A and B are shown apart, each in its own frame.
Chain A
């Protein structure tokens, strides 16, 4: 069975600092990996996804993530945090032939000035 673990339910950074949100997965099949962002009282919006090919994936709003098979990780980073990045972030996994996503429990990112 597939699962996703997001380390740290809450991450706080200063504006301009590096953002690092951690995600580890377990999967018995080649995984497809996703990061979604949720702003207050809104639905989820895709930040980026890894399916095949290049393991460093660039997404919207300056975020990127690297698929590391040996570490079963897909950590999300952004070089310089902005106040508007404050939101909840979800890592998710699916497998080939599987339609539904398995989500992690989420990480709330706070950005202080």
Chain B
């Protein structure tokens, strides 16, 4: 299917475990983004990527790792999950500039 997809949609994990959230887009957009959404904070940028093998930090990057070996995929890894990382995570993509960012459906992550 065309578009942007995220998996899993829901994830429960324990403190200290490694978790990877997947994001896949079919438009060949050059830019991809990871945001987290928390009550009272809106959406905050974690990391973004301008192209394969090019990534940069956003507002809240600590505790997260990203990679982008292929244009269409942009996984987000929590190397050692903490309770403060309980959140809803959104992936987005666009062609750059003022192009509309298209958002995935989100992953709801709970860290116990």
Contacts and interface: CB of A to CB of B under 8 A. Distances in A.
Identify the interface centre among A9, A36, A101: most chain B CB within 10 Å of its CB.
A101
Interface string B38-56: 0011111100101000000
A113 B30 CA distance: 44
B42 A104 contact: yes
B90 A44 contact: yes
Contacts of A32: 98
Given A51-B98, A94-B98, A105-B41, A100 B103 contact: no
Given A49-B98, A51-B98, A101-B45, A43 B40 contact: no
Given A99-B48, A99-B50, A103-B42, A43 B98 contact: no
Chain B binding surface, main DSSP class: strand
Contacts of A46: 100-102
A45 B105 CA distance: 10
Interface of B: 31, 33, 35, 40-45, 48, 50, 58, 90, 92, 94, 96-98, 100-106
26 contacts: A9-B40, A36-B103, A41-B106, A42-B105, A42-B106, A43-B90, A43-B104, A43-B105, A43-B106, A44-B92, A49-B100, A90-B42, A90-B43, A99-B31, A99-B48, A99-B94, A99-B96, A100-B45, A100-B48, A101-B43, A102-B45, A103-B43, A104-B42, A105-B40, A105-B42, A106-B42
